[in-house]
Amino acid sequence: MKTGKEMREVGMIENAGVLCEEGNITWVGPMNKCEKELPAEIAEVDASGKVVLPGFVDSHTHMMFAGSRAHEFGLRAEGATYEQIAEQGGGILNTITHVRKAAKRELKRSTARSLLDLLRHGTTTVEIKSGYGLDMDSEIKMLEGINELAEEEIIGIVSTFIGAHAIPPEFKTNPQGYIDLIMQKMIPYVGKKRLAAFCDVFCEKGYFDLQQSELILSEAKKHGMALKLHAEELTPLGGAELAGRLGAASADHLEHITDKGIEALKTGGVVAALLPGVSLFLNHGYAPARKLIDAGVAVAIASDFNPGSCMSFSMPLMMTIACTQMRMTPEEAITAATLNGAAALNLSGSVGSIEVGKQADLVVANIPDYRYLAYHFGTNHISMTIKNGTILEL
Ligand SMILES: [Zn+2]
């Protein structure tokens, strides 16, 4: 991962070439310096006049869901509050109801459709969370679905278990009962079956407090999962400090992170995964990206694609918002959407940059200058996506 001023170094090479063999990058540099003997059978891609970048790594999504929240979007536009919508059975409960009813194959089918769209927009690795089932069977159904999609290898998928996304309605008067279920049943099962690389918790007032989050995450760690947290989104609860203490790979959201939290991320080497699309969609303020970067924290940006708080998976759009609203430079936004996104998934050794030995995950953007990716927004500039060395027909 890159931190501080390094985040501005994108390693631009003019008139560059990349050689990919057996799914990996075997050479990269200025074309006229390529002395490597090219294999006889090689598919050549002419990207002249275009920009080639590493495929985007979206380290935070809830993109497996069912049902629609378009109705709520309309209500919100007319001034309804989140609480008023929740009282009418809307919000996360709405999605939970639909996901519980949906068959695994339906969830997989709709997610697979979105995955193709992600590839068209240049994302080649994506994290997908559970957390809309909130009972044993439905959480497992989601995780199995995510893992089965991963096995199809159309895109890189990292699965995350977030049973602690909310307290389900049947445990409303007995939240501890649900936490016991997560710790005693769900985590051991998910760990044993290796259904998730990460465990995540919505550490927030009214959801899972610091102590509960720590208990759940520590248990997940014992069962072989790496850690993530939804932290400091609505209130400065201390989730960032907890992430540092537990050695989490990333702390996500961070709209209300404190100076102490920033220090904890830095010392703990925790990636700050910021979600610009959520701040735009909910209009609830932005994470202090500038302060985090200047303090030496590795910043990633992700879409948080989900039906309630960000219905976009466009990483270039996230970059535009990061540059215009969070004072990140276009170079920092590229690093945040690629290499640091990979670091948030413990994958910076294999994806996130165009380096020899890494997976050949590349995107070709039909733009004259890499800054156009964030600058010329609202349109898809990606003209080709290459995953593991394969040119995708999308
Ligand atoms: Zn989230």
Nearest one of 156, 153, 146 to 54, comparing CA atoms: 156
CA of residue 148 to ligand 1 center, whole Å: 21
Q: What is the pLDDT of residue 329?
A: 98
Fold of 15-53+355-391: Urease, subunit C; domain 1 (2.30.40)
Mean pLDDT within 19-26:
95
Mean pLDDT within 148-174:
96
Interatomic CA distance for residues 113 and 15, integer angstroms: 35
Instruction: Give the distance, in angstroms, between the CA of residue 293 and the centroid of all CA atoms in the same chain.
Output: 19
CA of residue 60 to ligand 1 center, whole Å: 6
What are the backbone angles phi and psi of residue 235, rounded to the nearest 5°?
-145, 150
Helix (H, G, I), strand (E, B) or coil at 192: helix
CA of residue 44 to ligand 1 center, whole Å: 39
Q: What is the pLDDT of residue 311?
A: 97
Neighbours of 32 (CB within 10 A): 8
CA of residue 61 to ligand 1 center, whole Å: 6
Mean pLDDT within 110-135:
98
pLDDT tens digit sequence for 317-373: 999 999 999 999 999 999 999 999 999 999 999 999 999 999 999 999 999 999 999
CA of residue 107 to ligand 1 center, whole Å: 18
CA of residue 29 to ligand 1 center, whole Å: 37
CA of residue 17 to ligand 1 center, whole Å: 37
- How far, CA to CA in Å, does 60 sit from each of 119, 165, 302, 304, 306? 16, 14, 6, 5, 10
CA of residue 306 to ligand 1 center, whole Å: 8
CA of residue 162 to ligand 1 center, whole Å: 9
What are the tokens at 191? 């760990």
* Residue 119 pLDDT greater than 90, yes or no: yes
Q: What is the pLDDT of residue 89?
A: 81
Q: Is pLDDT larger for residue 41 or for residue 111?
A: 111
Mean residue pLDDT across the chain: 96
Q: What is the pLDDT of residue 166?
A: 95
Q: Which residues surround ligand 1, an ion (CB under 5 A)?
A: 304
pLDDT tens digit sequence for 34-89: 877 787 788 899 999 999 999 999 999 999 999 999 999 999 999 998 788 888 88
Q: What is the pLDDT of residue 87?
A: 82
Helix (H, G, I), strand (E, B) or coil at 224: coil
Start-end ranges of CATH 2.30.40.10 in the chain? 15-53+355-391
**Which residue is listed with tokens 């995450």?**
217
Q: Is pLDDT larger for residue 394 or for residue 213?
A: 213
- How far, CA to CA in Å, does 236 sit from each of 116, 175, 219, 222, 288? 37, 22, 24, 27, 13
Interatomic CA distance for residues 270 and 238, integer angstroms: 14
Q: What is the pLDDT of residue 360?
A: 98
* Residue 251 pLDDT greater than 90, yes or no: yes
Q: What is the pTM of this model?
A: 0.97
CA of residue 252 to ligand 1 center, whole Å: 8
Fold of 54-66+102-344: TIM Barrel (3.20.20)
Q: What is the pLDDT of residue 184?
A: 98
CA of residue 230 to ligand 1 center, whole Å: 6
pLDDT tens digit sequence for 253-305: 999 999 999 999 999 999 999 999 999 999 999 999 999 999 999 999 999 99
Start-end ranges of CATH 3.20.20.140 in the chain? 54-66+102-344
CA of residue 19 to ligand 1 center, whole Å: 36
Q: What is the pLDDT of residue 40?
A: 78
Q: What is the pLDDT of residue 35?
A: 78
* Residue 127 pLDDT greater than 80, yes or no: yes
Interatomic CA distance for residues 160 and 220, integer angstroms: 11
CA of residue 9 to ligand 1 center, whole Å: 28
Mean pLDDT within 183-200:
98
Q: What is the pLDDT of residue 178?
A: 98
Q: What is the pLDDT of residue 209?
A: 97
The β-bridge partners of 158 are 127
pLDDT tens digit sequence for 201-220: 999 998 999 999 999 999 99
* Residue 32 pLDDT greater than 90, yes or no: no
* Residue 145 pLDDT greater than 80, yes or no: yes
CA of residue 58 to ligand 1 center, whole Å: 12
